[in-house]
Amino acid sequence: METPRLAVGAASRPPPPTPRFRRRRFPRPRGGVHCFPFARAARPVLLTRCSSSSSSREGNGDSRGKPRRESSSTVRLDVDADSDQVPSLADEGDVGELFRLAQRNILYINKQRLMAMEELKKLQDENNLLLEEIQVLETEMQGIPLEAAQSLSFSELLLRIDTMVISGMISMAEASDLREKVVTNRSIIQSAFSDIHHKPNTELLSELRLFLRKPIEKPLHIVHICSEMYPIASSGSLSTYVASLSCEIQKKGNLVEVILPKYTSINVDGIHGLRRAEAEYESYFGGVWHKNKIWTGTSSGVGLVLIEPSQLYYFSRDMLHGYPDDFERFSYFSRASLDYIVKSGKRPDIIHIHNWETAIVAPLFWDIFAHQGLGNTRILLTCQDLNSECLEEPNILEMCGLDPNKLHRPDRLQDTNKTHLVNILKGGIVYSNKVILMSSTDSKDSLIHGSRHGLQSTLTTHKEKISVASYGLDGELWDPSKDIFLPRRYSANDIEGKSICRQALRRRLRFNGDSSIIVGCICDDNSDIHSLKEAVHVALRRNSQVIIMEKLGSVVNSTLQALKGEILGDKIAFVEAYDESLAHLIYAGSDIILCSSFEDPSLQTAMKAIKYGSVPVQLNFPSDESRTMTLHIGIGRLRMGWLGVRHGT
């Protein structure tokens, strides 16, 4: 068979000797992803060029890719580095290389397409979330609250049943049965069938029949008596716990109401339809019946009742709590709440009380109110912190109508260690039907036998009615992938935003450099100044940058003032006024977050730090050596991690 010849122009020449291949880098082509087949190659393309064994190179050729005559038996293909022209390859080996190159580019483009589809899916999810938020805002701007919109859906459902009868889809008997079940289970129906506008009658009827065939439990009526609730009155984790729990339980078709004190500093913007009731009622305290004003409203669809004493000024103060007469204030509120429930004719299934502030409700209920039409009601106590117990003189119980002689006993309210005092939290544990202890790290046994409180014997006696639950965290408010306060949102799958937040935090606090570890701390009343000062010194000695911001309260402010006078330098920043947006940025931009303890019932600092990808370090260690060692190890490991990232390991 005749050997094929290479034709250049119109001339035909004898075939060249068997070529020797030498690999040459081909420049990256210009253009976007559509310049196939050279679109965004994953690495520089190696192109084979031909040359003969002859070392003589003569002749002049065009540098734009035209073949240049070198000898009678050699054809050489040159490509200018700046040329956009795709060369023509004339050897079978070169064609194979081009084919393999095209394959690699196809695979690379397909990989990029899949990545783009994933990114598009994320953007679509974010877009849907924003559209839902916009829909709620537009509804409220039109003067239709969310509750009213749900009511409109409920009314539309009843009217759609009418059209089903007229069209002959269902009989009048079935329609009557459907209407009765829908009205009876209105709260559940409203949440399950909130969006029916675009559904045809056939689909809606099928879903309605299937839903109503399921056994529906009788909804519960739950009343919270508590000292705070987000966003109306908030100073710690209790407020977010009450708000989130109330919304979730109500979504399941139960009726939930919350009774709060009417503080002067209350956030009225967090209450929809706040109004003062025309009627007043009386409650007993200190041997006298006192008049109380009633305020009502809703928050996220949950009914609110705010009690305001007419003559006493227990709640006309700057802070929610932290005063010497706190027991008088909250025992008045507890008694007034129970008087309100009885006089308004409520018959709740559960009265949910929280911490020592409303723990006195339990003995009040069983000694005074259970026989006033509330025999089927049960008491549930949630305790966020066993170390906050409230010890008082027994005679002070008389103010709210209790008998000190009856309650000052070891099996009731008498404190185990200080037997001459009564323990208010102990009374709540003894008299409640169920008790929930909040802890994210401890089991029931470790909580019962904890060494820092004197409730071991009481908790052991009532062990069967005790449950343990983890601290809740508001996923909408404290989530870096949804956080509205961050310059760039991020998640565990996309952490680039954390670096951007770190840079934004440095700019806001005017820190220099970008290689230092950032140590953040948000103080509260539980922060130990000695531990905090030692931790700050350790961080500064390791060339870290430190941010300290107070939460609330004059006690914390004085602590920061003392630290500010002792620790100076351009690597530490003090923020004396709490800023919500800056708090979110501190969690997102810091590498280490100092916290009072991992339990941290007031600020939930450790949980927020982990959520935002920061390392929580406990301040209140049993010894200074443990705390210092932990901080040294934390900073050291972070530095090693940074060096590894920089060197590609």
Q: What per-residue confidence (pLDDT) applies to 70? A: 44
DSSP label at 553?
A: S
- Quick one: 196 and 256 in the same domain? no
In a domain, residue 630? The reply is: no
Tokens 């992803």 map to which residue?
Answer: 33
Contacts (Cβ under 8 Å, ≥6 apart) of 520: 546, 547, 548, 549, 586, 587, 589, 590, 592, 593, 594, 614
The per-residue pLDDT for 276 is: 93
DSSP strands (E only) in 138-287: 221-225, 255-261, 272-285
Pick from 213, 246, 267: which residue ends a domain? Answer: 213
Q: How far from chain centre, in Å, is Cα 75?
A: 69
Domain boundary, last residue among 213, 237, 267 = 213
- Cα–Cα distance for residue pair 249/238, rounded to 1 Å: 16
Strands 518-523 and 466-469: unpaired
- The model's pLDDT over 466-497, given as tens digits with 9 standing for 90+, comes to 999 877 666 667 889 988 889 999 988 888 89
Nearest to 440 by CA among 146, 292, 199, 237: 237
Which residue do the tokens 């880098």 mark?
Answer: 25
| 550: β partners | 523
For tokens 């006078």, name the residue: 565
246 and 392 in a common domain: yes
User: Could you give the CA distance from residue 585 to residue 574 in angstroms, rounded to a whole number?
Assistant: 15
The answer as to whether 475 is a domain residue is: no
Final residue belonging to a domain, choices 402, 435, 469: 469
Residues 112, 33 contacting (CB under 8 angstroms):
yes
- SS3 at position 543: coil
Task: Number of helices (H) and strands (E) in the chain: give both, helices first.
Answer: 18, 22
* Residues with pLDDT less than 70, the chain: 1-93, 132-133, 135-154, 186-198, 215-217, 441, 451-453, 472-476, 524-528, 551-560, 562, 599-603, 620-649
Instruction: Based on the fold, state whether residues 318 and 450 are members of the same structural domain.
Output: yes
The closest of 569, 568, 476, 570 to 240, measured between CA atoms, is: 476
Please report whether residue 577 resides in a domain. Answer: yes
Helices (H), 567-619: 580-589, 605-611
Does 506 map to a domain?
yes
The closest of 324, 328, 304 to 314, measured between CA atoms, is 328
Among 242, 254, 264, 256, which residue's Cα sits nearest to residue 317? 264
Q: What domain range includes position 240?
A: 221-469
State the total domains in the chain: 3
Classify residue 495 by burial, with Cβ atoms within 10 Å: 0-12, 13-18, 19+.
Answer: exposed
Q: Is residue 131 part of a domain?
A: no
- Predicted model pTM: 0.57
Instruction: Copy the structure tokens of residue 481.
Output: 């992938």
Same domain membership, residue 235 and residue 372: yes
**Selection from 351, 49, 386 nearest residue 222 by Cα:** 351
User: Is residue 205 domain-shared with residue 231, that is, in the same domain?
Assistant: no
Which pLDDT score is estimated for 8?
43
Distance CA 562, CA 169 (A): 77
Are both 520 and 435 inside the same structural domain? no
Residue 488 lies in a domain: no
On whether both 259 and 282 belong to a single domain, the answer is yes
Same domain for 276 and 423? Answer: yes
Query: What pLDDT was estimated at residue 526?
Result: 61
Domain harbouring 351, CATH code: 3.40.50.2000
Task: Give the H or E element holding residue 95.
Answer: helix 92-141
Residue 227 lies in a domain: yes
Is 354 found in the same domain as 283?
A: yes
Three-class secondary structure of residue 548 per DSSP? strand
- Crossing angle of the two packed helices 172-184 and 146-166, in degrees rounded to 10: 170
β-bridge partners, 71: 74
Total residue length of the chain? 649
Based on the fold, state whether residues 348 and 314 are members of the same structural domain.
yes
Residue 66 lies in a domain: no
Q: What is the DSSP letter of 269?
A: G
Q: Which long-range contacts (CB under 8 A, 24 or more apart) does 495-499 make?
A: 495/613, 497/588, 498/588, 498/589, 498/612, 498/613
Euclidean distance between the first and the last CA atom of the chain, given in angstroms as a whole number: 57
List % helix, strand, coil for the chain (3-state, nearest 5). Answer: 40, 20, 40
* Token pair of 191 as six digits: 């949440």
Instruction: State the Cα angle at 490 between 539 and 570, rounded to 5°.
Output: 25
Question: What per-residue confidence (pLDDT) applies to 55?
Answer: 41
| One-letter identity of residue 69 | R
User: What residues contact 387, with CB distance under 8 A and at least 6 apart?
Assistant: 452, 453
Could you give phi then psi for residue 163, rounded to 5 degrees? -65, -30
pLDDT of residue 393: 95
Residues 326 and 251 in one domain: yes
DSSP 137-169: HHHHHTT--HHHHHHHHHHHHHHHHHHHHHTTS
Say whether both 465 and 606 belong to one domain. Answer: no
pLDDT tens for 167-210 read 888 888 888 888 887 777 766 666 666 666 667 888 888 888 88
pLDDT at 44: 45
